A and B are shown apart, each in its own frame.
Chain A
Amino acid sequence: MLAQVVLGLATAVGGLAYGLFLGGFSRKMIARIHGRIGPPVTQNYVDLLKLFVKRTSIEHGTMFWLAPMFRITGGLGVLFLVPLIVGRVAVVNFSFAGDLLLVIYFMFFGCLGMALGAGNSGHPHAVMAVTRGLAQMSSYELSFSVVILILAAGLGTLSIDGIVAAQQGGIGHWNMVRYPFATLAAMIAFLGMMMAYPFSVVIAPQEIPIGPPTEYSSRFLSLMMAGRTVFGVAKLLLYMNLFFGGAANWVDFFVKTFLLYMYPIFVSTVFPRFRVEQSVRFFILVPTAIAAIDLIRIMVL
C-alpha cells in the first residue's frame, strides 16, 4: 500500500512537471507560428512557483478557496486511474474494472468544483464563464459518452486496463483503426476538453477576461494552474489508452502524449473562437453524428 502511495505521488509530481513542460513548449511553438520568439520553455515552472509564493488579499469565502482543490482532485483522480505503461505493475496506477465511468465522473467533478468556487467569487465574468463552460461540457460529453458506449459494447469492458489490453498486437488492433468514426468524434470532443480554439469559450480574453480564474491570484491561481496542467496530462493519458493502444514503453508514452498535445495547439493557431451557442450546436450535431456511425455499425454487425 505504501509503495502504491509513493508511486501515486510520483505520478502526480511527474504529471505536473511533464504538463508544465508541454505547456511551455506549446507557448514557444505558438509564438514561432505567430512570428515571435516567445517565452522560454521553462516559463511555466517559473510562473507556477512565482504565483505560489505570492500573498493574497482577496476574500470570497470557503468555496472560493476550495475550487482549486476540487480542480486538482479531479485531475489527480483521472491521472491515478489511467495506466501509464501497459503491463508494468509499477506504473499501472489504480486501474480497476469499471474505472472508465469513475474517470468520467472525476472529469466532471473537477470542472463542477471549479465552477462552484469561481461562481462564488461573484464576478460576472466568472459566472458567465461557468455557464458557458457547463453548457459546452455537457455538449461534448454527449458525443464522448456515445464513444464510451461504442468502446464498452465493442470490447465488452469498462476497464481502461481492459481496453488497453484489447488493443495490443499492433496498430491494426488500436481502437483508432477498429472504430475510426468513434475516434474522430472523440478527437473533436478532445478540442473542447482541452479548451482549444475554436471551442475556447470559457477562457475568452476578449469577451469575458478571463473567465473562472478572474478573481484568483497568488497561490490559488498557482493551484488552479497546477490543476489545469494535471488535468491536461490526465486527458492525454486517457486518450492514448482509449484510442491509440496505450504506451508499451516510455518512448511510446512520450511520443504519443506529445503528438496528442500538439494536435489542439496546431488547431488553435488557425481557428478563431466560436460563440457559445455555435460551439454547443457543433458538439451536439457533428461529433455525435460521426460517432453514431460506429455505434450503428456495432449494433448491426
Chain B
Amino acid sequence: MRTDPQKTVRLFFGPQHPGVTGNMSVELWVEGDEVTKGISRVGYLHRGFEKLMERRLWIQNFPLVCRMCVPETDVNEACYAEALELLAGIDVPVRARWLRALVLELARLGVNLMSLGGQGGTIGLGTAAQWGITYRDFVLDLLEELSGGRIYHMFILPGGVRRDIPSGFFSRVETVLETIEERLPEFDRLLFDNAVFQTRTQGIGVIRPEWVDELGLVGPMARACGFARDVRQDDAYEIYDQLAFDVVTETGGDIFARALVRRRDIALSIDLIRQIMKRTPDGPVAVQLPNLTRWRIPAGEVYAKVESSRGEYGYYVVSDGGLRPRRVHVRGPSYVHGVTLLERMLVGTNIADVSNLMVSLTICPPEIDR
C-alpha cells in the first residue's frame, strides 16, 4: 500500500512503549489519527529456542520450553512432555494426568484474569488492571506452593508430574476460587458494565468470521466469532474427555466479545478445577524414566497440542533415535494473531485503539520469535 509522505507520520509503537504487548514493536503509518499501514516488528526476544533444543538432552529442554511464553508457561511443558511420551511410548499414570489438567486450568485462570485486567489497562482503566493482577497473584501463590516457582513451574515432566500435591492443597485451591468468585461481580461492574469500556470495545477490532479459516485463527479470536473450537473438546488430551463442559463462544467478533469470552473462560476454568479436585484419583504421579543423561528416544515424529488461553498450541518434535531432539518446531497462536491478523486489522484503526487491539489478541512475542 502506498502512503503519502506529506500526510503520513511514521510511528514506532514499541518496543519501549507501555501499550505494546511484550517485547515487540509495531511500525505504524498514521494519517491524522488513522493508521493506514502497520507492520509487526519482532525478534527482540529471539534466542533461538528451537535451535537450542537440538543441542540439549531431551530432559534439559524443560527449563527452556517454559520460557516460550511467560504468562502461561505450563502449556509448553505439557506439549513437550506429551510429545516425548508419544515418541518414547510412556504411559502416564492416571493421577498425574488429572494433576496436569489441574495445573493447566490454574494457569489458564491466572492468565485470563491478567489479560482481562490488561484489556481495561490499555484504555486507562488502571483499577481493572491492578485487580486482575492481584487475583492472578492468588493463583500464582498456589502454583508456587505446588512447584516452588511463581512463573516457571517445570512441574509437568515426561512420565507424569514432578511430585504429588502437598497436604491440604485442594482446600487452599477452593479458598482461592471462592475469593476470586466473590470479587468477580465487582470486577464485572467495573469493566463490562462500564459505559466508556463498552464504547471503546464494542464494534472495535472486529474479526470477520471468514478470516478464521483463511488465517487459521484459534482460541478466543475464533470463539468470539462464533466458532466452537477448543482442543480440549475437539481432540481431547489428558483427562478433558472425562470433564463436562461447553466451549465458550460469542458472536460479536469485536474486542468486547473477546473480553467476554475470556471472562466466561474464567468461570469455566473455575468449574473445571472443581470437577478435577472432586475426581482426582489416588495413585502414583510419575513413572520411572531411564537414566536421563543417556535417554535415547526412538526415531519418529509427532505433533502434540493443547488448548492454551490463546488457542491451539502445538509442538512438532522429531527424533532420530539420539540423545537430543533432531528438530522441535513450536506452533504458537501468536504468530498468526500477532503478525498476519494484526497487520490486517491495523489498517483503518484509530491510533488510540492500537494497544487496545493488540491486548485483545493476547499476543505473546516469544512464541513468534522462538
Contact = CB atoms under 8 A, between A and B. Distances in A.
Interface of A: 30, 33-36, 124, 128, 197-198, 200-201, 204-209, 269-278
B196 A198 contact: yes
A276 B11 contact: no
B199 interface: yes
B205 interface: no
B127 interface: yes
Nearest to B119: A272
A207 B351 contact: yes
A270 B131 contact: no
Nearest to B121: A206
Contacts of A36: 130
A124 to B, nearest CB: 5
A275 B122 contact: no
Given A274-B199, A278-B199, A205 B18 contact: yes
B174 to A, nearest CB: 22
A275 B352 contact: yes
Contact of A273 (B9, B18, B124): B124
B9 A270 contact: no
B131 A271 contact: no
A272 B355 contact: no
A96 B352 CA distance: 43
Given A205-B18, A270-B194, 17 more contacts: A34-B131, A35-B134, A198-B124, A201-B352, A205-B19, A207-B355, A208-B351, A269-B127, A270-B190, A271-B124, A272-B120, A272-B123, A272-B125, A272-B194, A273-B196, A275-B350, A277-B33
Given A124-B11, A272-B200, A206 B355 contact: yes
Contacts of B126: 30, 34, 269
Would you list the 10 A-B pairs with minimal beta carbon distance, nearest first?
A206-B19, A34-B130, A273-B124, A272-B125, A272-B123, A206-B355, A205-B18, A275-B352, A272-B124, A198-B196
B196 A274 contact: yes
B352 A33 contact: no
Given A35-B130, A200-B124, A270-B127, A207 B197 contact: no
B199 to A, nearest CB: 6
Interface residues of B, number: 30
Contacts of B354: 207
A206 B122 contact: yes
Interface string B324-365: 000000000000000000000000001111111000000000
**Majority SS at the chain B contact face:** helix
Contacts of A35: 130-131, 134
A51 to B, nearest CB: 20
29 contacts: A30-B126, A35-B130, A36-B130, A124-B11, A128-B33, A128-B351, A197-B125, A198-B196, A200-B124, A201-B352, A205-B19, A206-B18, A206-B355, A207-B19, A207-B354, A207-B355, A209-B18, A270-B125, A270-B194, A271-B125, A271-B196, A272-B124, A273-B124, A273-B196, A274-B199, A275-B353, A276-B33, A277-B33, A278-B199
Nearest to B127: A269
Interface of B: 9, 11, 17-19, 33, 120-127, 130-131, 134, 190, 194, 196-197, 199-200, 350-356
A200 B125 CA distance: 11
A272 B123 CA distance: 5
Nearest to B204: A275
B33 to A, nearest CB: 7
Contacts of A276: 33, 352
Nearest to B134: A35
Contacts, number: 77
Contacts of A200: 124
A200 B196 CA distance: 13
Nearest to B350: A275
A204 B127 contact: no
Q: Interface centre among A30, A270, A277, by most B CB within 10 Å?
A: A270
A128 B18 CA distance: 17
Nearest to A128: B351
Nearest to A203: B124
A61 B355 CA distance: 32
Contacts of A278: 199
A269 B355 CA distance: 20
B203 to A, nearest CB: 12
Contact of B19 (A198, A209, A275): A209
B229 to A, nearest CB: 30
A282 B355 CA distance: 23
A124 B32 CA distance: 11
Contacts of A204: 124, 352
Nearest to B123: A272
Contacts of A272: 120, 123-125, 194, 196-197, 200
Contacts of B122: 206
A209 B131 contact: no
Nearest to B200: A272
Contacts of B352: 201, 204, 207, 273, 275-276
Contacts of A277: 33
Given A124-B11, A207-B19, A207-B352, A273 B190 contact: no
A87 to B, nearest CB: 42
A36 B126 CA distance: 12
Contacts of B190: 270
A35 B197 CA distance: 21
A166 B134 CA distance: 50
A34 B127 contact: yes
A275 B124 contact: no
A90 B174 CA distance: 65
Given A275-B352, A276-B352, A206 B123 contact: yes
